[in-house]
Structures are given as structure tokens and as C-alpha cells.
Chains A and B, each alone.
Chain A
Amino acid sequence: MLKYIFTRVLFFIPTIFAISLLTFVLMSNAPGDPVENMLTRNQGGEGGQSADKIAGEKAYDNLRKKLGLNLPMFYFSLSSKASSDTLYKIAKPDYRKTLERLSYETGNWPLVQDYYQSVRQLEFAILDLPKDSSTVTPLITLRSAISNLYLNYQDAVITHSLDNMTKVLHQQPSLQGALPALKNVTGAYANLMNHKTFWKNYIPSLFWNGTKCQYHRWLFGDAPWFSKSEDETLSSGFLRGDFGISYFAKRPVSSMIWESIWYTMLISFVAILLTYVISIPLGVYSAVNKDTPADQAISTSLFVLYSLPNFWIATLGIFFLCGGDYLNIFPPTGVADYDVSDPLFLKIGMQAYYLALPLICWTYGSFAYLSRQMRGGMLAVLRQDYIRTAQSKGLEKKKVVWKHAFRNSLLPVITIFSSVFPAMIGGSVVLEFIFTIPGMGKLGFGAVLQRDYPVILTVTMFSAILTLVGYLVSDILYAVVDPRISYSKK
């Protein structure tokens, strides 16, 4: 048995690996720039000098390093000869996108890089131009032209911006200082256009990044394993309980997860307990009294319950039972807010009062499903010969059902555990959203809306791990109930 559990847990490793890889791949082409969002300060670009700009970029780079975004995505990358192996070093995602496209269009990454460097120098040159009343308008034109260069790959747009800048610089004698830099850009761009090697796009190539990549950092971390590190830009990785920093809450994801997982686990466990406690006797009763009016009534209502969408029932419940314009039986949504000093029974009572309606919505679907399975399993067992033997030797019905049939009929219900548990975790998203319970589902949902990737990644990983645990538990229960199944030897 222990050996079996051990091999199952061993099997978790490739599964977790695959799931993390899948989520990571999905994240890798996600839109948005988290670093920009997290930096609330003024970018220093508008009126500032090049020194401000450099300070701003330094802060940007530091944060980027802290989030681990300054690394390539994966251990290796497969792309074409035209694309670059050092693209990830470009800080801003928008610029990176433009350059990537430009290197695709021209097939000549070294020259694209020269062009990018020359544009950057031009930007600094423009920042250092004298500012007075006569240069305000031309400077605005120049800055917008620069950002056009950063964000566009189309030949027409680039040529147009360059022409515009040349014109403006020539008109204003006090702005002549930036002319050499502009000449550089024009030269670099012309050079790039004259040396297109589009064919390089058709040559596949493999870039090896080694362990210095985002995936490795996220999973294993880059902080030393056995000694304390002062450098706070290092991460200790998912396996050591460091889930990164939330892009929006700006605090460690681990603290957010531990706060919220408690509610989801509490509700899921109570819900599963309730489900089994109600559905097993009900299923047995309805199977034993097959085709009686009671059985028919139970079966029909179970089927209806099974098909009722829980978010509808939840909405209706809030609508009609939680104050509002109709009845006022249950408290408004949310969770109980009690003092730490309150006595324990009061805490439990208040929490139960608040969680009663959510629990009903959580439970009824799987309870209906389970009862139906229990009924089916029981019926299948009751048809068997050994039950008939037991009955014909004069055992009382109760004993036949509970002693002889019950244990065997449990098997289908136990296998279902492995699908009920993940369903509860998944269902938590919409129910926690409706009832505003600060659990894992709501955390994940909010993170999806805000595109808070570290949180999404962590929530997905946790729900996958919980699902795996659910499978493991159902396997073990299976062995406990059915002595024919032995996992210890083949």
C-alpha cells in the first residue's frame, strides 16, 4: 500500500511539470507590461533630462529583475535564424514586439539592434536639447516621432517619422544638437533596409538558455538553497513556497494564497462531507424501494437538482432570501466578521449562518449526482446472486442491504470522489464570486480580470495539486473498501 502511494506521488511529478509548463506557455504570450503597471511614479520622460530618463530606466530594470522578467522564457527556444537570442534583454515589451517584427521583416537581427541603439541615442540627444518657449512645439513633435519609431515596424511610418524629425531639426537652429544622432538613425535604418536577408526566416535554429530562464527561476528559484541571501531580487521558487509577487496587490502571492485557500478548503470539505452523509442513505433507500412512489419522487427531484445550474440558484437565493426586496432569511453575502475574543461557539455559529446558503449551492449538484450513482450501484448489487442467496436463507432485509450489499455498492461512489472534488474547486470560482467569499476561486477570478499572472499561475497550480490529491484519496479509499484490490503487488 505504502509503495503504491509512493509511486502515485512519484507520478505527480511529471503531471505537475506538464501543468506548470502548459500554464507557463500560455502566460508567455500574454499581453500587457506588468512592470510599467507596478511603477506608479512619473516616468521622467516628459520634461526631464537624460539623467532622469536613465534613473527611470534603472528603476524599471530593477523591478523587472525582481519579477524575474529579465530572463528568457524557457531552457531553450526554437525559432528561426532571423530572430534573436538576446531579444529578452530589451526591457519594454512593446519595443520588444516591434523589434521582433522588424527582425522578421528584414531577417537581419544585428542590424536591427544597431538601429535600435541609434534610436535610443537619438532619444537621449533629444532629451538633452535646450528647452525654451520656442522649442516646445518642435519637441513635442520629436517625442511623438520617437515613440512612433519605437512602436512601429512599417517602412512607411518609420520613413515618415524620420523625415518629420529632419524637417523639424533643420527649421530650429537651437535644436541642431540632435542632428548627428538623427543622421545615425537614418543611416542605420537605410543600412538595415539595404541588407535584408528574409531567407533567414526559413532556417530553424535552437537557442540554448540554460537554467537562467524564467521557468527555472519560477519553479526552483535562483536563491541559494542552503544559505540566506540578502539580495531581495532573488526568488526561492515555487517548490520552496515563494510564488512571486502579485502585480496588483504588490505583495507576495504566498500570503494571499494562504489567506484565501482556508475558505475554499473549509467550504469544500464541509460540502463533501454533507454530500456523502446525505446522498448515501438516500441512494440506498431509493434503490431498496425501487419503483415505489417515494423512489420515483426522489429520482425525479434528484435529476432536476442535478441539472440546476448552481450560479442560477445562488443568484435566486441572494435575490429572494437575502434581504433585498423579498424575504430576509439569510445574511447578506460575504463571510462573518467576528472579533478574535468572541467565544468559539459564537464564531462557528456566525460563520455557519453566513456560509449556509453558499454551502447549499455548493452541495446540491454533487449530492444529486452522487445519490443517483449510489442508487445505480446499489441496484446493480441487489441484482446479484449472492444477495438472492442471503435473502433466501432468511436474513432480514436490513442486514442484507447494509451488511452484504452496502460495501460493494460503495465502489462507484468512491470513484466519483475524484471528480467531485475538482468540481468543487472549479465551482468555487463562480460561487465565491456570487457570494463574495474571499476564497481561492475569487482570488483567481480577480487575478484573471486584472491579468495578475503570478496569482493566476499559483491558483492554477494549487487547484491542480488539490485535484491530484483528490485522485489519490479516491484510490486509497477504493483499496480500503474493496479488499480484492491490492496495490502492494501485481
Chain B
Amino acid sequence: MSGNKPNKQAGQSYWATVGRQFRKKKVAVASMYIACFLALVAVLAPFLANEKPLMCKYDGSLYFPVFKQIGVDFGLGQFPKELNNVDWKDLKFDFAIWPPVPYSPLNQDAKNIHSVSPLKGQNVPSKRWYHWAGTDELGRDVLAGLIYGTKTAFTVGIVSMFISTIIGIFFGALAGFFGDENFKVSRVRLWLNLIFFFLGLFYAYGVRGYILSDALSNSLAEFMWQFVISLFVFLAIMGVANLLASLLKKIPVLSKQVSFPLDMVISRGIEILVCIPTFFLILLVLATIKKPNIYIIMVIIGLTSWTGIARYIRAELLRIRNLEYIEAAQALGYSGWRIMLRHAIPNALSPVLIAVAFGIASAILVESTLSFLGFGSGEMITWGSLLSSARATPSAWWLAIFPGFAIFITVTVFNLIGEGLTDALDPRLKQ
């Protein structure tokens, strides 16, 4: 793919060419717009569906309850006592501006329980309070659930793909760029790194295991903090290993260069990983965790779906590392790592884009399947959990159709974007 380098003849950069090719596909562009719209819905979910008014005047003073709630969730400020644990709909406001859907997803409308149809039989004061997509068994508004489900789906898709992209690029780049022969280190450095790797794991995560698990049972933030400390301990230990290696390299016996077959090790590892049925693996992990939640699901999906990206990157780098500009960089005396990070990987990222688009689609699908089966959603409303509630109420067609349609649209849109990118990046189509 010669287009990886700036395409001077057209006077355009590579990415501009790709963009132009992508824009030629009407369906892909339309999908892009739909995806952006859905992302907007996800971001603005609390303003689109909320039991609290966006703005109201109560008891003579002006409130912005939705904004306030966001502040309260972050631990900034408190609602005044008379507004704590109240049903906002029963309050007598001087005036109030309500969000488009005046219900929160977990808000139970006592007058409309037992799955009220969106077409008939709703017990609401006016059209303003109408449940446009009906309610579920507990009287929760389905449309609010759909809006918040968008948020969950996008979070899952993006976070898990972020994790898998990083892991995939890391392993794929190591395997592809260094291959079996080019990863040369002195004997002492190899051994010290291997030994200190286990020591690092021991001191950072073994000894600190209880500190980490205590932190996790307190709060996620504390856990992240402790985790970062552990990471620092680990990196420090690895640093010591490499410092020691630099010193010991002076001894001739230890300084002999050996090549570590990175490609072989990583490729074999990937081959083994792809043989594990992913869905069973995820179920397996969920079975061993006491209280699986949505974040754990994101991490698991991320940890199990990186092999495709790693393969793409590996294949790209196997090709790129033989190009002249890499040779030039080597001739300039740059280190292997620098060439890989600064010069090789940036040019190998285009196939990753395709993999990410398809990956988001499949991550959303896996998550909705899991929450359909009843895993992990817990207190959260997701499309999958809404769809599974249809199984309990065989007459509520709106519970079966709307959430499934939302999953279908999102998955289709990301698949179409992936298709469009594939065509746009395909060198055969380029003039």
C-alpha cells in the first residue's frame, strides 16, 4: 500500500485520500451520521430522559436539578433537604421545564405498571407524560431505558475496543516489527528481565494483593489509585532490572547477544487464544467473579478481542519493516524501539481502524447478549436487559421490538462504517 506515505501526485495526504474515498460511499457516510447522532444521545442521556426537571422554580428559588444531580453524583454539593428523596412529579412548581422524556430509566410509574402498551390504555395526566414506547412490568419507561441503553452500549463499545486496540497494537507490533531474529538483547538483560518480571508481579500485585482487593471493595477510584501505585512498583522493579543489566553488560560472558523469538512466541500465543471460544470464556470469567458488573464485562471483552488487531498490525509491520524508509532510519542509527514507535506503527494503523469499527459492533452485540442472559447489568438498564424482560411478558410486543431494533441499528451502523473503511482503504480501488 504505497498510499501509506503522503501521496504527492494528488497533492493530498494519505488520510485526505481515504476521507475522499470514504465520502464516496453514501451508505457509509449516512451510517457515520447515525453513529454520531447515537453518540450524542448517549452523551446527553441525562438531559433527554430524567425524572427531574431541567430547570424549575420551587418555593421561590430557581433550580437546575439535572445539572445539580450531576454535581451531587460527583460529590459536589447536596440537594436541599426538602428535595431529597421526593417524587419530583408531585411537587408544586411555580414553573418547570421538563426533559423530552420526563422519566428516569429506573423510575417506576405506579399508575402504569404491568407493561402498558404505547398505543392504548395509559393512565397519564396529559400527552406530556405519555410513555411513547410503553412501560415494562415494573412501570419503568421503555424510551428512557432505550436512551440510557445507548449510553451503556457506547461505553462498552468504546472502552472495550480501547483496551483491545492497545493490547493488540502492542503485541502485533512486537511480533511484526522484530520478527524472530531482530529482537536482540544481551544475555544478561534477557534473563534479568525474565526474573525481574516475576519478581515485579510478586511485589506489585502478589504482596499488595490484599491492599488491592480491600480498595476494590471500598470504591473503584481507590482501587484505580492503588492499581497505579502497583504499576509504579512494577515499573520501578523492571527499571532496576535494566539498570543492573546495563552494569553487568560490562562482563564479556554476560554481554553475548541473543535473539528472542518474539514473533514465534506471540503468534503461537494468539493461535492458542483464538481456539478458546470467546463467549464461553467470558461466561467462565463471570462465573468466577462474585458480583460481575458492566465494567468487568467491558474489560473482559477488551481482553478477549485483541487478537484480530494484533494480526492485522503484525502483517502490516512485516511488510513495512522492509521498506526503504525504515532502512534509512536504521542507517541513521535510530534504536529499534524508536523506529517502531515513531515511524513504523503510525503507518500501520489504517487496518486497525477497520478492525475497531467491526470490533465496536461485536462488543455491543456481546454485551447485549450477556445482559439479555442476565449478566452484569445489575441496576443498570441496557438494551439486552430490556429485551429479556419481553420474555416474561409475552404480550408486550414493544418490549421485544424497540430494544432489539436499537441493537440492530447500532450494530448495522458500525458494520457499515467498517465496510466503508475497508473499501476506502483498499489499494485496489485507488486511482
Contacts and interface: CB of A to CB of B under 8 A. Distances in A.
Nearest to A319: B400
A311 B386 CA distance: 13
Nearest to B285: A26
Contacts of A467: 275-277
A207 interface: no
B407 A312 contact: yes
Contacts of B290: 31
A104 interface: yes
Interface string B26-68: 0000000000000000000000000000000000000000000
Contacts of A307: 361, 408, 411-412, 415
B84 interface: no
A80 B275 contact: no
Given A311-B372, A325-B394, A433-B373, A463 B277 contact: yes
Contacts of A312: 387, 400, 404, 407-408
A276 interface: no
B396 to A, nearest CB: 9
A112 interface: no
Contacts of A316: 400-401, 404
Interface stretch (B88-96, B128-136, B199-207): B199-207
A448 B275 contact: no
B394 A309 contact: no
B283 A448 contact: yes
Contact of A429 (B203, B373, B411, B412): B373
A464 B277 contact: yes
Contact of B280 (A18, A308, A460): A460
A211 interface: no
A316 B407 CA distance: 14
Contacts of A18: 272
Nearest to A433: B373
A96 interface: no
Interface string A192-234: 0000000001101000000000000000000000000000000
A343 interface: no
Interface residues of A, number: 56
Contact of A101 (B210, B361, B390): B210
A151 to B, nearest CB: 16
Interface in B335-366: 361, 365
Contacts of B365: 309
Interface in B395-431: 395, 397, 400-401, 404, 407-408, 411-412, 415-416, 419
Interface string A319-356: 11000110000000000000000000000000000000
- Residue from B277, B400, B411 having most chain A Cβ neighbours under 10 A: B277
Nearest to B269: A18
B69 interface: no
A439 interface: no
Given A315-B404, A316-B404, A433-B373, A468 B275 contact: yes
Contacts of A445: 283, 373
Given A27-B288, A468-B275, A460 B373 contact: no
A463 B390 contact: no
B79 interface: no
A78 B404 CA distance: 48
Interface in B310-342: none
A382 interface: no
Contact of B287 (A79, A320, A448): A448
A204 B199 contact: yes
Nearest to A461: B280
Interface residues of B, number: 46
Interface string A283-310: 0000000000000000000011011110
- Residue from A201, A309, A453 having most chain B Cβ neighbours under 10 A: A309
A422 B286 CA distance: 20
A311 B159 CA distance: 24
Given A312-B407, A319-B400, A15 B277 contact: no
Given A316-B400, A422-B277, A429-B279, A79 B206 contact: yes
A460 B203 CA distance: 32
B107 interface: no
A369 B188 CA distance: 51
Contacts of B416: 303
A14 interface: yes
A456 B287 CA distance: 9
- Residue from A29, A304, A447, A463 having most chain B Cβ neighbours under 10 A: A463
A319 to B, nearest CB: 5
A472 B312 CA distance: 23
Contacts of A304: 412
A311 B290 CA distance: 26
B400 A30 contact: no
B278 A426 contact: yes
A261 B271 CA distance: 25
- Residue from B278, B280, B285 having most chain A Cβ neighbours under 10 A: B280
Nearest to A204: B202
Contact of B272 (A14, A318, A463): A14
- Residue from A22, A78, A311 having most chain B Cβ neighbours under 10 A: A311
Contacts of B368: 309
B275 A15 contact: yes
Contacts of A453: 287
A324 B390 CA distance: 12
B157 to A, nearest CB: 14
Contact of B277 (A202, A430, A460, A471): A460
Contacts of B202: 78, 80, 204
B288 A29 contact: yes
A23 B284 contact: yes
Given A29-B288, A204-B202, A309 B404 contact: yes
B166 interface: no
A314 to B, nearest CB: 10
A425 interface: yes
A311 B207 contact: no
Given A202-B207, A316-B404, A448-B284, A471 B275 contact: yes
Interface in A405-455: 422, 425-427, 429-430, 433-434, 444-445, 447-448, 451, 453
A18 B412 CA distance: 35
22 contacts: A15-B271, A23-B284, A29-B288, A30-B287, A31-B290, A78-B206, A80-B202, A80-B207, A204-B199, A204-B202, A204-B206, A303-B415, A304-B412, A307-B408, A316-B400, A316-B404, A425-B277, A426-B279, A448-B284, A456-B284, A460-B284, A463-B280
Interface of A: 14-15, 18-19, 22-23, 26-27, 29-31, 78-80, 101, 104, 201-202, 204, 303-304, 306-309, 311-312, 315-316, 318-320, 324-325, 422, 425-427, 429-430, 433-434, 444-445, 447-448, 451, 453, 456, 459-460, 463-464, 467-468, 471
Given A303-B415, A312-B400, 11 more contacts: A15-B271, A18-B272, A22-B281, A31-B290, A204-B199, A312-B404, A315-B391, A316-B404, A319-B397, A456-B283, A467-B275
